[in-house]
Structure 1
Amino acid sequence: MSITIDLSDQVALVTGGTRGIGQAIVRQMLEAGARVAFCAPEADECAARAAEFASLPGMSDRVMGMAANLRDRASLAALVKAVGARWGHIDSLICNAAEFGVPSRVEDVDPDIYMRLLQSNVVGNFHLCQQVVPGMLERGAGSITIVTSIVGYTTMPTNIPYSSSKAALASMARSLAAAYAGQGIRVNCVSPGLFRTEASRDIWDDPSLLEDYVTRLVPMLRIAEPSELAGACVFLASPMASYITAATLAVDGGRLGIGLQAGSARQIGKPRPV
């Protein structure tokens, strides 16, 4: 028996949709039949990616890209208004965009950089949710999926502004879920581990460093591809997840669930004798 997720009756909005995980989310939402709007800060990049998606079979009238920045509230409001003008409403919001900041020692963290990340990653996403929720309340249905990170649930001493912003997003998602659970709006998180994106290039571009990382920290002993997180987002947006809210789906090769200690992944992942 095969199960196909059909989102042909949905309109989705994906932030950070021109690269990496966001690009994969847009593509898989389109492949599931949804009409998809996406954004990124650069207008030229959005236009180029929209043209690329529109060239795929059956997708020419189901995708739109528009420049918007999480630190620019007016651009977020304009984005939501533009999607409504074209397709009438938004069924699924996927908050993927985030700033990573500059890794540094605790004593070298610039407070202005810290505030910039909180403004973008937390306040910006909250404001976008504020823009989308009224329409969802009016229809009595909607799904919001927020991309957090495993560092929001563990630690990242080399980039505390980023990790704490992701922890704040997870808390925000649970509170939004509690606020709207009885009104048809579901709010969930997906929490990625190590993925092959530009943000982690310094790890996966170095074979010895990658081997060391997955051996110590990833029970499945490999890096993930962006499409593997996109599938989780499509599922959470679909009717198959209709009774799921306030949940965090860790897409991390088992790291959070198993709670690894250094050096343990190779032992966990090795074949066992029968």
Structure 2
Amino acid sequence: MSRELLADKVVLITGASSGIGAAAAKVFSEEGATVVLTARREDRLAALVDGLRGAGTEASYVVGDVSSAADAARAVDAAVAAYGRLDAAFNNAGVGGDRTPLHLMADDVYDTIMDVNVRGVWNCLRHEIAAMLAHGGGAIVNNSSVAGLVAIPAAAPYVASKHAVVGLTRAAADEYAQQGIRVNALAPGTTRSEITADWFARNPGMEELACSMTPQGRTAAPEEVAAAAAWLLSDRCPFLTGAVVPVDGGFVNH
């Protein structure tokens, strides 16, 4: 029996061109998965897939935007066409936004955040679940945030979107539990990525504040979040569904 968590599984990863998504592509591959990556930046996807293939992993990519139902469907269809089935999916694509008081938040900022973070997960779930039902089940992890569990000041649309991801996760887990599909969510704390590095650069003192509010006193590496997702997608936790797992250094308990 293979000790790899995702041996022989076909896994779709959204938002795979950077950050947690790119880390997941590498971690899942190391755990034996065949990975199908989707994001908007083809240059990043192509480079990542080239590297994975060079390391002996079966990998492919589909350029797309999860806020488009057609793009989400195309990514799922490509996985099934290439590999015959879809065993697992990590719905990781998301956007943040600058910290702005609620009464000053622009409509277009709200719309963009909700379109990607909520509609994007909705679009992916619909097509992933349909593919999994056709092939005997599967596992899905949606990437929420600690902002899906607690309030974060001056980030109302983001907080609302990540709470919605938790709601979609629990609803889907309940609806498909007896049809062989598990659906769970991650709630990462502050995680090092290009986006957070840029945000810290534009908001002096915020990195120190984030670390001070985390009992472990640090931010997470993207690979740490990806490792948690790999476990949730694996067969090692068959009785776990509808859960929201914080990967936050103790932040929500602080």
Q: Same fold (TM over 0.5)?
A: yes
Displacement of 1:155: 1.1
Secondary structure of 1:224's aligned partner: coil
Aligned equivalent of 1:70:
66
Q: Which moved more, 1:110-119 or 1:87-96?
A: 110-119
2:27 aligned with 1:19: no
- Conservation of the 8 A alpha-carbon contact between 2:68 and 2:123: no
Q: Over residues 105-155 of structure 1, what are the superposed CA-to-partner deviations in whole Å (9 max), with x where a residue is unaligned? A: 222211232122212211121111111112211233210100000012111
Amino acid at match of 2:20: I
User: How far did residue 104 of structure 1 move?
Assistant: 1.6
Deviation at 1:206, TM superposition (A): 8.7
Is 1:70–1:124's contact at 8 Å kept on the other side of the alignment? Answer: yes
What code does the residue aligned with 1:111 have? D
Question: Contact 1:150–1:192 at 8 Å: present in 2 too?
Answer: yes
Asked if structure 2 preserves the Cα contact closer than 8 Å seen for 1:5 and 1:238, the reply is no
2:87 aligns with 91
Paired with 1:25 and 1:204, the residues of 2 have a C-alpha distance of 25
Counterpart CA distance in 2 for 1:122 and 1:208 is 30
3-state SS, counterpart of residue 249 of structure 1: strand
The Cα shift of 1:47 comes to 1.4
SS in 2 for 1:179: helix
Relative distance call for 1:227 and 1:204 in structure 2 (3 A) is: farther
1:121-200 alignment runs, 5 A limit: 121-200=117-196
**TM-align CA RMSD:** 1.9
Partner of 1:105: 101
Which residue pairs with 1:10 in the alignment? Answer: 9
Number of aligned residue pairs: 252
- Deviation of 1:87 (Å): 0.3
Aligned equivalents of 2:47 and 2:227: distance in 1?
24
Instruction: Report if aligned partners of 1:196, 1:204 keep a CA contact under 8 Å in 2.
Output: no
Alpha-carbon distance in structure 1 between the residues aligned to 2:223 and 2:188: 12
Larger RCO, structures 1/2 (Cα 8 Å, 6+ apart):
2
CA distance in 1, matches of 2:17, 2:108: 27
Distance 2:108 2:244 in 1: 30
Per the alignment, do residues 208 and 72 of structure 1 end up closer, same or farther by CA in structure 2, a change over 3 Å counting? closer
Aligned residues of 2:173 and 2:184 also touching (Cα < 8 A): yes
TM-superposed deviation, 1:245: 0.1
Q: State TM-score, norm by structure 2.
A: 0.93
Structure 2: how far apart are the matches of 1:141 and 1:204?
43
Q: Please state whether the residue corresponding to 1:5 is helix, strand or coil.
A: coil
The aligned runs of 1:219-230 (5 Å cut-off) are 219-230=215-226
Partners in 2 of 1:220 and 1:159 — Cα distance?
A: 24
Q: TM-score, normalised by structure 1?
A: 0.86
Aligned residue in 1 for 2:251: 255
Whole-Å Cα distance in 2 between the matches of residues 6 and 191 of structure 1?
A: 21
Gaps of 5+ in 1: 261-274
* Identity across matched positions, percent: 31
Question: CA offset at residue 210 of structure 1?
Answer: 3.2
Q: Give the Cα–Cα distance (whole angstroms) in 2 for the partners of residues 205 and 228 of structure 1.
A: 25
Bigger mean CA offset, 33-42 vs 114-123: 114-123
Distance 1:208 1:165 in 2: 25
Q: What's 1:203 paired with?
A: 200
2:31 matched residue in structure 1: 32
